[in-house]
Amino acid sequence: MRSELTRFSVVKSLLKNRWPQLFGFIVMLAGFLYAIMTGFIGTPVGNNNFSTVFVWIAWWAILILVAVPFFGRGWCAVCPIPLPGEWIQRGAILEPPSRKPRRLNLRWPNKLRNIWLQNLTFTLVALFSTVILTTPKVTAVVLAAMLFLAVGMSIVFERRTFCRYLCPVSGFIGLYAQTAPVELRVKDKQVCITCKGKPCYNGSAAGYGCPWDVFPGGLTKNTYCGLCMECLRTCPNDNIAINLRPFAADLGQPSRKLDEAFKAFIMLGAAMVYAGVLLGPWGELKSAAYSVGTVAWFGYVMAFLAFIFGLLPALFWLAVKLGQVLSKSNVPARHVFAAFATALVPLGLMFWVAFSLSFVLTNASYIFIAFSDPFGWGWNLFGTAALTWQPYLTTALVPLQTLVLVGGLLWSVRTAQKVGREVKIQPVPVIVFSMLVTLVMLGLLL
């Protein structure tokens, strides 16, 4: 059941036209650079600095509560990080120039054409997250590093290699974009097969070849489509459609990739660890996570890594193995493991939503303060600088989080059943795993 949005000429024109997207880019780039600047020269007090408040409260809330669940990679469509690098790489901001600039345009190594590096970068950021989240300068360093890395990679490699293979945010947005009710797909695959020159992938005078290194004709899920709309501009056959669809439509086709499976574990585990460290009552745990470089921090790192890369996958593997034994299946365990990890996608997303609700509603009042006085220099741009901190919707928070977690569990159960039917393996042990981790998350949050 799909509804094509691009059948409306207004929508199609808006998406094909480069100017609305450019304005989005400019606003986002300005905000991004402003966040870097406030981080470097504003007050070092995290809850009064635009950098930390804007990125980790306002942007994060919009991303995880709205953008990802409803628009998938919608954020990637306006993310400013690739803009400067692409300008250098393409030699233009809007349409392709008549003369292509001479760049190395190297292909990304085949062995790295997966999301293992993104798993690594996300884990790295996660290990330092307590410091990054609370220290404006460190936030600014991370943002600036992402920008410089993206520019550097655009100069050396073709397309958006940073976004596709390195960006720590892009990895999980791609994973959870599978659940979004929006997709970009071709209308008729046969048209793509017979299309000469494949301008959607190779580019043409009308637009650039897919920056995400995806051939739209082969798209079956949202994971790697950045919704940049280049294929909509370049397709000579009007064969690209933006569709509204049911939530989680991609999860019907379970993944067979271990890198994606581990992305699901990293995200699930990180949400649980954050709930414990950032929202829990354990002062020593917080101190250990914050004291980067100390023995206690190394202990925290080891525990974090062991939980995400050891305990969770091991328990899940046992559940999958038990399902195999119950079903007397000969399908390779690695395939079944990766396939069933798809059930963790909706569960992980709902873990993040539940965690973020608590985090964001508790700290949202800082947004008004920091927007009025972004540097902590005593400004009062919107008359809200003198507001005091206060948490919002405290009475609704617990029921809301419970609802989200239970909803996530049901969604995960439904997905596990679908995967079970697909791979012909009993899903009950995986469902029990999902129930257990949901119970732990409930205990951590409530």
Partner 1 sequence: MKRSEILSRLLVIAGVLLVLSVPLAVHFYEGQGIVEIHGRMAESGGWSPNSIHAQVGVPLHLRLTSDDVMHGFAIGQSDMPAVDVAPGKMTEVTLTFNKPGTYTYYCTRWCGPNHWRMRGTIEVSGGSSDAPQPVSPPLYMTLNLNIDAPHPAIATPTERPSALRGAAFAAMLSSSYLTNDYYRAHSPSQAYLDLRADPALSSLSNPNVWDLVAYIWQSTTTPEGRAEGQRLFARNCSACHGESGGGDGVFSASVNAQTGKFPANFTDPASLLGASPALLQGKILRGGMGTGMPYWGPIFENETIWSIIGYIYTFQFDEVQK
* Minimum distance of partner 1 from residue 118's CB (angstroms): 27
Comparing CB distances to partner 1, the nearer of 86 and 260 is: 86
Among 63, 81, 83, 231, binds partner 1 (CB under 8 A): 83
Helix (H) or strand (E) holding 186: strand 182-186
Q: Please, what is the minimum distance in Å from the beta carbon of residue 385 to partner 1?
A: 8
User: Does residue 95 bind partner 1 (CB under 8 A)?
Assistant: yes
HEC string of 99-125 equals: CCCCCCCECCCHHHCCCHHHHHHHHHH
What are the φ/ψ torsions at residue 400 (nearest 5 degrees)? -65, -45
Burial class (CB in 10 A: 0-12, 13-18, 19+), 224: middle
Site string for partner 1, 11-30 (x = CB under 8 A): -------x---x--xxx-xx
Query: Tokens 């009007």 label which residue?
Result: 238
Cα–Cα nearest to 299, from 326, 266, 321, 277: 277
Q: Could you say whether residue 44 binds partner 1 (CB under 8 A)?
A: yes
Handedness of CA 271, 277, 280, 282 (dihedral sign): positive
Give CA separation, 155 vs 31, 89, 200, in Å: 24, 6, 22
Residue 300 or 366: the one with the smaller Cβ distance to partner 1 is 366
**Contacts with 358 (C-beta within 8 Å, 6 or more apart), sequence order:** 275, 279, 397, 401, 445
Residue 92 binding partner 1, by CB under 8 A: yes
* Per-residue mark of binding to partner 1, 324-343 (x: CB under 8 A): --------------------
- Using an 8 Å Cβ cutoff, are 418 and 252 in contact? yes
33 binds partner 1 (CB under 8 A): yes
149-157, 160-168, 224-232, 374-382 -> range binding partner 1 (CB under 8 A): 374-382
Among 72, 376, 408, 427, binds partner 1 (CB under 8 A): 376
Q: What part of residues 247-306 is at the interface with partner 1 (CB under 8 A)?
A: none
Q: How far apart are CA 218 and CA 198, in angstroms?
A: 12
Residue 93 contacts partner 1 per CB under 8 A? yes
Task: Give min distance, CB of 361 to partner 1, in A.
Answer: 21
What is d(CA 330, CA 195) in angstroms, rounded to the nearest whole number? Answer: 40
Residue closer to partner 1 (CB basis): 47 or 384:
47
Q: Which of 5, 14, 20, 47 binds partner 1 (CB under 8 A)?
A: 47
Can you give the binding site for partner 1, defined by CB under 8 A? 18, 22, 25-27, 29-31, 33-34, 37, 43-45, 47-49, 83, 87, 92-95, 97, 373-378
